[in-house]
């Protein structure tokens, strides 16, 4: 545990050497400058210099985490995807997955973040749990249990748009950040200008692993904060409107979900605010909130594609 923490601590310095991102680099050098001067002495000037530089460092660290390049986001996302697919089996049905990608990739094109290092990809998971996940790099997973909460294409579009909202708002990456800022500030104070030349890849991999753990524990085990969920719902409402779907589809889906969620379950029952509270929040954003009548052309393809799911 101690070794792992040290690795997390060396993260920024290691990142600087290997070249995390331009910002990470400048952040680290700021920190090193701040804590590197030899004689801390007792003058007020030096004390205030230190405080000043610590504040700057704090900002720089948090900025650096926000500024992970799309390329690095891609490797983080692939790995989270590989962990999800160890926990859940893919649902091997081509028609359903193809439809999910047609719908999801089309929606993503109209989002505020249409371009990713690779692209958005969607997959059905063979599980009765009511669950959905999105990695920072655009991999979106939806369980069969979740699909069963969707009575029409508007509702399914809403589920995918909510996940796209998490990606666009970088909620996954933010769950690394929280943990790291506090650690990173204490790290460099202790480690000072120590040279981290040895085994960069090993250190980086271990920090990589820790970052992945930060994200998966928020995404799979504990859930994001209520404000992140509300923000993803709001982003979904905007996106649905842009593409021409009825945002009230999200409310329809949540009404079914509220009947099907089992109290104490480890799925959305644990990781999301209750459907009722999400509906309450959505009613402020959506004009018409009654039950929706889906368009016939959409309903035909929706039923054909998800038959048997």
Partner 1 sequence: MGEQFSVQVRDGQVRTKPSFLGAVIATVHYGDRLAVVQSKESWVEVALPGSKQGWIHLSALTEKEIILNPNAQQVSQAASSDELALAGKGFNKQVEEQFRKQNSQANFAGVDKMETFRVSQEEMAQFLKAGDLKPQGGAA
In this structure, the dihedral spanned by the alpha carbons of residues 282, 284, 285 and 291, taken in order and rounded to 10 degrees, is 60
Only segment of 79-87, 144-152, 189-197, 276-284 that touches partner 1 (CB under 8 A): 79-87
Closest CA to 191 of 4, 20, 36: 36
144 Rama sector, left if φ>0, alpha if ψ -120 to 50, beta otherwise: alpha
Locate 192 and state its tokens.
Answer: 């000072």
**Alpha helix (H) ranges present in 138-264?**
144-147, 153-168, 171-191, 200-216, 226-243, 248-260
Cα 155 from chain centre: 21
Q: Does the protein bind partner 1 through residue 304 (CB under 8 A)?
A: no
Place of tokens 């820790």: 210
Q: Does the protein bind partner 1 through residue 237 (CB under 8 A)?
A: no
Q: Does the protein bind partner 1 through residue 232 (CB under 8 A)?
A: no
Secondary structure class of 227 (helix, strand, coil): helix
- Which residue's CB is nearer to partner 1, number 106 or number 182? 106
State the nearest-atom distance from the C-beta of 120 to partner 1, in Å.
9
CA distance linking residue 13 with residue 297, whole number of Å: 56
Q: Does the protein bind partner 1 through residue 245 (CB under 8 A)?
A: yes
Only segment of 49-57, 187-195, 201-209, 266-274 that touches partner 1 (CB under 8 A): 201-209
Q: Taking CB under 8 A as the rule, which mask of x and - marks residues 134-153 in contact with partner 1? A: -----x-------------x
Q: Does the protein bind partner 1 through residue 285 (CB under 8 A)?
A: no
Q: Does the protein bind partner 1 through residue 15 (CB under 8 A)?
A: yes
Among 37, 40, 52, 115, contact with partner 1 (rule: CB under 8 A) = 115
Element (H, E) at 132: strand 132-134
Provide the 10 A C-beta neighbour count for residue 140.
Answer: 25
Measured at the alpha carbon of residue 85, what is the angle toward residues 83 and 89, in degrees to the nearest 5? 150
Among 82, 128, 190, 304, contact with partner 1 (rule: CB under 8 A) = 82
- Which residue's CB is nearer to partner 1, number 211 or number 271? 211
Only segment of 50-58, 106-114, 142-150, 248-256 that touches partner 1 (CB under 8 A): 106-114
How many chain residues are in contact with partner 1, going by CB under 8 A?
69
| Nearby residues of 89 by Cβ (< 8 Å), 6 or more positions away | 125, 126, 127
Q: Does the protein bind partner 1 through residue 309 (CB under 8 A)?
A: no
Are the CB atoms for 131 and 93 separated by under 8 Å?
Answer: no
- Which residue's CB is nearer to partner 1, number 239 or number 254? 239
Q: Does the protein bind partner 1 through residue 25 (CB under 8 A)?
A: yes
Binding site for partner 1 (CB under 8 A): 15-26, 28-29, 68-72, 75-76, 78-79, 81-83, 85-86, 90, 97-98, 101-103, 105-106, 109-119, 121-123, 139, 153, 201-202, 204-205, 208-209, 211-212, 239, 242-245, 295, 297-298, 301
């Amino acid at each position: 545990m101690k070794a792992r923490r040290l690795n997390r601590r060396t993260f920024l310095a290691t990142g600087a050497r290997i070249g995390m991102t331009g910002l990470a680099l400048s952040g680290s050098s700021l920190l090193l400058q701040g804590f590197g001067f030899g004689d801390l002495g007792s003058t007020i000037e030096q004390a205030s210099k230190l405080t000043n530089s610590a504040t700057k460092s704090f900002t720089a660290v948090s900025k650096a985490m926000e500024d992970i390049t799309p390329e690095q986001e891609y490797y983080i996302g692939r790995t989270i995807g590989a962990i999800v697919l160890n926990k859940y089996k893919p649902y091997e049905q081509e028609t359903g997955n193809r439809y999910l990608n047609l719908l999801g990739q089309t929606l993503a094109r109209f989002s505020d973040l249409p371009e990713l290092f690779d692209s958005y990809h969607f997959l059905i998971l063979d599980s009765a749990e009511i669950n959905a996940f999105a990695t920072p790099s655009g991999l979106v997973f939806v369980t069969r249990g979740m699909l069963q909460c969707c009575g029409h294409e508007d509702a399914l579009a809403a589920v995918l748009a909510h996940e796209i909202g998490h990606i666009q708002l970088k909620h996954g990456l933010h769950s690394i950040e929280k943990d790291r800022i506090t650690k990173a500030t204490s790290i460099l104070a202790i480690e000072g200008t120590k040279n981290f030349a040895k085994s960069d890849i090993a250190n980086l991999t271990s920090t990589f692993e820790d970052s992945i753990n930060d994200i998966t524990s928020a995404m799979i085990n504990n859930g994001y904060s209520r404000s992140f969920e509300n923000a993803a719902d709001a982003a979904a409402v905007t996106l649905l409107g842009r593409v021409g779907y009825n945002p009230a589809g999200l409310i329809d889906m949540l009404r079914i979900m509220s009947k099907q969620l089992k109290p104490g379950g480890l799925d959305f029952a644990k990781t999301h605010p209750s459907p009722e509270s999400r509906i309450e929040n959505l009613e402020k954003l959506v004009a018409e909130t009654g039950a929706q009548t889906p368009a016939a052309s959409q309903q035909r393809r929706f039923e054909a594609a998800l038959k048997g799911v």
